[in-house]
Amino acid sequence: MQRQQEKPTEKPKKFRVFGPVATRFTSSDTGSWRLERPKVRFEDCIKCGTCAMFCPVNIIEILKDQKECVIIDFNYCKGCGICSNVCPKKCIDMVPERGHE
Amino acid sequence: MTYKMLDGNSAAVEAMKLAKVQVISAYPITPQSSISEKLSDLVESGELKAEYIRVESEHTALSVATTAQLTGARSATATASNGLALMHEILSMTSGNRVPIVMPVVNRGIAAPWTLWCEHGDSIAQRDTGWMQFYSQNVQEVLDLTLTTYKIAEHGDVLTPAMVCIDGFFLSHSLQKVKVPTQEEVDKFLGKYVLKNTYLDPSDPMFICNLTPPEDFTEMRYQQKVGMDNAIKVIEEVQKEFLSKFGRKLHIIEGYKTDDADVVLLAMGSMTGTAKYVVNKMRSQGKKVGIAKLTVFRPFPFEHIKNLLGDKKVIGVFDRSAGLGGQGGPVWSEVSVALKEFDIDIRSYIGGLGGRDVPADTIEKIFDELLSIQNREKDTHTQWIDLKKNAMEIREVIKHV
């Protein structure tokens, strides 16, 4: 999804079409739907990647060589909590959005 | 050009093969089944280089064809009756997204009562889904209309899908001698499918059929209306080109001996062939009758109808669908509105339902009624022209209570 947004800016050319269509994905920023966000306790994380495997929007990346090893793209994370539920170490907490962290 | 013995379904397949369809997803349903089967034979033998995708329903068949066509492949499907009803939702998707698919529809009544046989009720019910509709008189027309329809539907000013309607069994399963053009001739006439509108390409993504707010929806529909309006002119041009290249004349509406006719019957589909025979027979008896064969029902050619029939006094319109709850049949309603500025007595006839044949006798009966209305000998007409006298009593059950 991230790549889709970047791609059309390479060589933009306008042409007229008929019918419902969008090439700017302005409304796909599903991160704005979020009421809770996943917060990883990195010290407990075993970098197994289970959260990334189960993420329904595929926006979790595991960086095994870094301390902050779980990267979540919050532009698209809806805060569904699946990652938190499936984590074998229970080291992903769901914390309320909007300044309660 | 070669002569072949073909039934209506084979003629449709022949046309799809000549148009070099690249993706096929069809679900068999009587009386369309032999279209699905013949297409799969052609793909298996390698005669047609296409991807044949097996699907579990008509709903999916049209979804696959529509989206495949958006990637740039000329796609094919075909259906009939309840299958067309199941496609209803996707019909509007195809037309609304301006995907110019050409689809043979083998006309068969919609259940209940269960029927396998011909009437136009299935396609007429889909008249507001934004598809063009062409009705064939004979097997040659099935081939010719299908070929021309690709060119019409794919035209940049039209971009609207089209149904080529084939009377179930009367055309779909009756063999006729058909002139089949060569591949080179068709290639020159049709050419390769070119995407002229939106497309699906992972390297240049667009989101087709996104949620359209009230600010844009009316305009999207209006664009479809303009496409439909443009189609009339494009049909004329393409039919003219077809005549010059292939030597056969197609019509939007054909007037057969209508010029000096006292009464005219307007009809669609295979029965118009019989009607022409009846016209000739009655003319030999000195009765001035004529037949208007309507080929294009969507877009409705009201200007053509005005020009052809505006000077008549009595017209009958034969609907091969019941138009339940309407004042008359659906075609009758449209014709009546097209001719509203003239002082014409337009009578609605309904018949040929669920496979009931429309023989010469039925048509002669209509013409005789119309003539006696024209002579002022009679005022009423028999709307359900081929109805049995005991219509309300034809079934009895034994009750065990």
The tens-digit pLDDT sequence of chain B (401 residues) is: 999 999 999 999 999 999 999 999 999 999 999 999 999 999 999 999 999 999 999 999 999 999 999 999 999 999 999 999 999 999 999 999 999 999 999 999 999 999 999 999 999 999 999 999 999 999 999 999 999 999 999 999 999 999 999 999 999 999 999 999 999 999 999 999 999 999 999 888 888 998 888 999 999 999 999 999 999 999 999 999 999 999 999 999 999 999 999 999 999 999 999 999 999 999 999 999 999 999 999 999 999 999 999 999 999 999 999 999 999 999 999 999 999 999 999 999 999 999 999 999 999 999 999 999 999 999 999 999 999 999 999 999 999 88
Question: Is B197's CB within 8 Å of A19's CB?
Answer: yes
Whether chain A has a CB inside 8 Å of the CB on B229: the answer is no
In a domain, A27, yes or no: no
Whether chain B has a CB inside 8 Å of the CB on A4: the answer is yes
Nearest-CB residue to B197 (from A4, A7, A17): A17
Chain A partners within 8 Å of B206 (Cβ): 21-23
Q: Label residue A85 left, alpha or beta by phi (over 0 means left) and psi (-120 to 50 means alpha).
A: alpha
- Rounded to two decimals, the pTM is 0.86
- Parallel, antiparallel, or unpaired for β B51-52 and B23-24? parallel
* Confidence band, pLDDT 50/70/90 cuts, at residue A11: low
Question: Hey, what are B314's tokens?
Answer: 């009595």
Q: Residue A4: what pLDDT?
A: 47
CATH number assigned to the domain comprising residue A65? 3.30.70.20
Q: Residue A10: what pLDDT?
A: 62
* Confidence band, pLDDT 50/70/90 cuts, at residue A28: low
Q: Residue A31: what pLDDT?
A: 86
In a domain, A34, yes or no: no
Crossing angle of helices B214-246 and B139-153, in 10° steps, is: 130
Q: Which domain, by its residues, includes A64?
A: 42-94
Whether chain B has a CB inside 8 Å of the CB on A2: the answer is no
Nearest-CB residue to A21 (from B159, B198, B204): B198
In a domain, A8, yes or no: no
> φ and ψ at B238, to 5 degrees?
-70, -40
In a domain, A1, yes or no: no
What does the alpha-carbon distance between residue B18 and residue B183 come to, in Å, rounded to a whole number?
Answer: 6
Secondary structure, 3-state, chain A:
CHHHHHHHHCCCCCCCCCCCEECCCHHHCHHHHCCEEEEECCCCCCCCCHHHHHCCCCCEEECCCCCCCEEECCCCCCCCCHHHHHCCCCCEEEEECCCCC
What does the alpha-carbon distance between residue B72 and residue B198 come to, in Å, rounded to a whole number?
Answer: 10
In a domain, A35, yes or no: no
Q: Residue A25: what pLDDT?
A: 65
What does the alpha-carbon distance between residue B71 and residue B201 come to, in Å, rounded to a whole number?
Answer: 6
What kind of architecture, by CATH, is found in domain B254-374? 3-Layer(aba) Sandwich (3.40)
Chain B partners within 8 Å of A19 (Cβ): 96-98, 197-198, 208-209, 220, 223
On the question of pLDDT at A6 being above 90, the answer is no
Q: Residue B204: what pLDDT?
A: 86
Counted domains in chain A = 1
On the question of pLDDT at A26 being above 80, the answer is no
On the question of pLDDT at A3 being above 50, the answer is no
Question: Is A20's CB within 8 Å of B159's CB?
Answer: no
Overall fold of domain B2-246:
Rossmann fold (3.40.50)
In a domain, A61, yes or no: yes
Question: Hey, what are B220's tokens?
Answer: 């999207």
The count of CB pairs under 8 A between chains A and B is 45
On the question of pLDDT at A100 being above 80, the answer is no
In a domain, A63, yes or no: yes
Whether chain A has a CB inside 8 Å of the CB on B72: the answer is no
Q: Residue B205: what pLDDT?
A: 85
* Confidence band, pLDDT 50/70/90 cuts, at residue A14: confident
Domain ranges of chain B: 2-246, 254-374
